[in-house]
Amino acid sequence: MLEKMEILDVEIVIEEFEAMTKDAGSVQRETLKKILEENACAEYLQNLGLNGRTDPESFKACVPLVTHKDLEPYIQRITDGDSSPILTGKPITTISLSSGTTQGKPKFVPFNDELMETTLQIYRTSYAFRNREFPVGKGKALQFIYSSKQSKTKGGLFAGTATTNVFRNSQFKNAMQAIQSQCCSPDEVIFGPDFHQSLYCHLLCGLIFREEIQLVSSTFAHSIVLAFRTFEQVWEELCADIREGILSSRITFPSVRSAMAKLLKPNPELADLIHKKCTALSNWYGLIPELFPNVKYIYGIMTGSMEPYLKKLRHYAGDLPLLSADYGSSEGWIGANIDPNLPPESASYAVLPNIGYFEFIPLNENVEEHVQDKVNASFLSAEPKPVGLTEVKVGEEYEIIMTSFAGLYRYRLGDVVKVMGFHNSTPELKFVCRRNLMLTINIDKNTEKDLQLAVEEAAKLIAGEKMEVVDFSSHVDVSTDPGHYVIFWEISGEVSDEVLKECCNCLDRSFVDAGYISSRKVNAIGPLELRVVWRGTFQKILDHYLGLGAALSQFKTPRCVGPTNNKVLQILCGNVAKSYFSTAF
């Protein structure tokens, strides 16, 4: 009975969501009022002359649009231990480290109980819609989740990645139980100090509980693909552990070893079964349902920079549905995936109007402003004019601005979204790209999505040889005259020079942006260069980020490496096995 009561009543969650989204405009006004009232004594707001006003008009008139850089001095004081109300009414005691993929180093952002509550609200909302279509039974989840290194700031605040802060929160476990997604691995594995060891143990736990596993998930899809790529390497060792009931010596941390020892018992039948299943598979197709016969779906963020992993994920998933998780950031959540039937490529996210106050900078108008600004050479003087949540237009693209319960006011997150439609009166957003992740030299403009499409096209040429692009990145090389695009590929095996030359030409031709093509034709942009890197190069990039305090759970491969990210650039450039220049133009 108790267990039954602990499970979330999805109909109530959906009812609440429906009611709230029918009135998104007034919920937004109320939310802004609440944020401003709760934080009225914060120094940041006090200095802006709101004088107790909480309406959107006064808010927009008094509070400037900011980037992370503008807030750094305030955040620095908080991390240094100043507990006066700086950005929030209540002092901040925990800091999140955003993945920092774009800049190359993690950013510090405040984390608090309100942010935790919005996280849980997002989890509950998408689960409610998901479970209506794909009900999970009693059981467990194989979750590839990892904590980052725990650290303390100079002022003694806890600092970890946002996901780590969520996993460590006392409410996390109950919440996971309520949405029937309890992780099958013990805490020692999730919080283990070495992700290679944790990954191995997650796999082992999954196999031990194979009949009970209802879903396979991670925060971002990359971790799931990495897990099963690893499985291909270590499956025999996993079988040996299960057969003997003795954990591999590769697991060295005593806390992890003793937690695993409680679960691992000699089970030769299970070892034989897994061995048989693995050897019967063709190129690991359908591995996940074969290993976990009761899995209902695969779950994790699959849009944006995760899309390139979908092909491999589908390969492992066989017929199982892939469901994209929600849309948010270390700074705060934005929307939930309430239409789980859509394939990840078409997934959009309905904004929850009570988790923050949202504004949107229309990008079409802004392009003109941008050009005008360049002419006036006063780029930053023209303030873009954002619109409110219910004023966005279907089909248009916007840069998203958030005001959160955790001390961010009119904060430019840096993401570009497209409005796909409305659910009641709240918009459904598709993630388009990071705004500053752009390949540009001259009048060309290619986004992460354009790069992904070009890579997909060119990768078809090596698919014929049963090879795949394991991961990729790019860089604008302006050290040559003219500058040119450099695309880095890690490939699963050997491919002939002829085919790679063709891939290079194909990449060059696949950037269909008019500015790129015309610049290439007149040689204002030089021939595209394809650099094939050694196997394991992208693992080195991952290790580099983990060393900086990032966590595997939140890792996103940097798709476009800028000049400020010199360590990643060094790793890529230092591991080039072969390079090719395009002759396509």
| Binding footprint of ligand AMP on the chain (CB under 6 A) | 98-99, 162, 301, 303-304, 327-330, 413, 415, 431, 434, 554
Q: Please say which residue, 158 or 284, places its beta carbon nearer to ligand AMP.
A: 158
Q: Name the minimum Å distance from CB 555 to ligand AMP.
A: 8
CA end-to-end span of the chain, whole Å?
70
Q: Name the minimum Å distance from CB 35 to ligand AMP.
A: 20
Q: Please say which residue, 505 or 557, places its beta carbon nearer to ligand AMP.
A: 557
Strands 94-97 and 108-111 come out as: antiparallel
Helix (H, G, I), strand (E, B) or coil at 579: strand
What residue type is 424 in one-letter code? Answer: N
Of 528, 497, 99, nearest in space to 328 by CA:
99
Tokens encoding 237? 């060792």
Q: Name the minimum Å distance from CB 355 to ligand AMP.
A: 14
The residue assigned the tokens 């899309």 is 307
Q: Please say which residue, 31 or 98, places its beta carbon nearer to ligand AMP.
A: 98
Of 467, 464, 461, 444, nearest in space to 528 by CA:
444
The residue assigned the tokens 């952002």 is 109
Helix (H, G, I), strand (E, B) or coil at 511: coil
Q: Name the minimum Å distance from CB 214 to ligand AMP.
A: 22
CA distances from 480 to 110, 234, 477, 488 (A): 41, 44, 7, 17
Q: Name the minimum Å distance from CB 149 to ligand AMP.
A: 15
Q: Please say which residue, 304 or 386, places its beta carbon nearer to ligand AMP.
A: 304
Residues in Cβ contact with 254 at an 8 Å cutoff, skipping those fewer than 6 apart: none
Report DSSP state, residue 106.
Answer: P
Helix (H, G, I), strand (E, B) or coil at 52: coil
Q: Name the minimum Å distance from CB 126 to ligand AMP.
A: 11
Q: Please say which residue, 131 or 303, places its beta carbon nearer to ligand AMP.
A: 303
Q: Name the minimum Å distance from CB 163 to ligand AMP.
A: 8
Backbone angles phi, psi at 222, to 5 degrees: -50, -40
Q: Please say which residue, 181 or 330, places its beta carbon nearer to ligand AMP.
A: 330
Q: Please say which residue, 348 or 537, places its beta carbon nearer to ligand AMP.
A: 348
User: CA gyration radius for the chain?
Assistant: 24
Q: Please say which residue, 274 or 552, places its beta carbon nearer to ligand AMP.
A: 552
Tokens encoding 352? 């929850």
Q: Name the minimum Å distance from CB 246 to ligand AMP.
A: 37
Q: Name the minimum Å distance from CB 182 to ligand AMP.
A: 23
Q: Give 477's strand partners.
A: 484
What residue type is 569 in one-letter code? Answer: L
Residues in Cβ contact with 478 at an 8 Å cutoff, skipping those fewer than 6 apart: 441
Q: Name the minimum Å distance from CB 52 to ligand AMP.
A: 32
Q: What residue ranges in 364-481 does DSSP mark as E strands? A: 387-388, 397-403, 411-423, 426-434, 438-439, 446-447, 469-477
Residue 127 exposure: Cα atoms within 13 Å on the Cβ side: 23
Helix (H) or strand (E) run with residue 366 in it:
helix 363-376
Tokens encoding 204? 């082992």
Q: Please say which residue, 358 or 516, places its beta carbon nearer to ligand AMP.
A: 358
Q: Give 332's strand partners.
A: 329
Question: With DSSP H G I counted as helix, E B as strand and the rest as coil, what are the percentages for the chain, rounded to 5?
Answer: 45, 20, 35
Q: Please say which residue, 274 or 437, places its beta carbon nearer to ligand AMP.
A: 437
Q: Which residue is nearest to ligand AMP (CB)?
A: 304
Q: Please say which residue, 102 or 519, places its beta carbon nearer to ligand AMP.
A: 102
Q: Name the minimum Å distance from CB 414 to ligand AMP.
A: 7
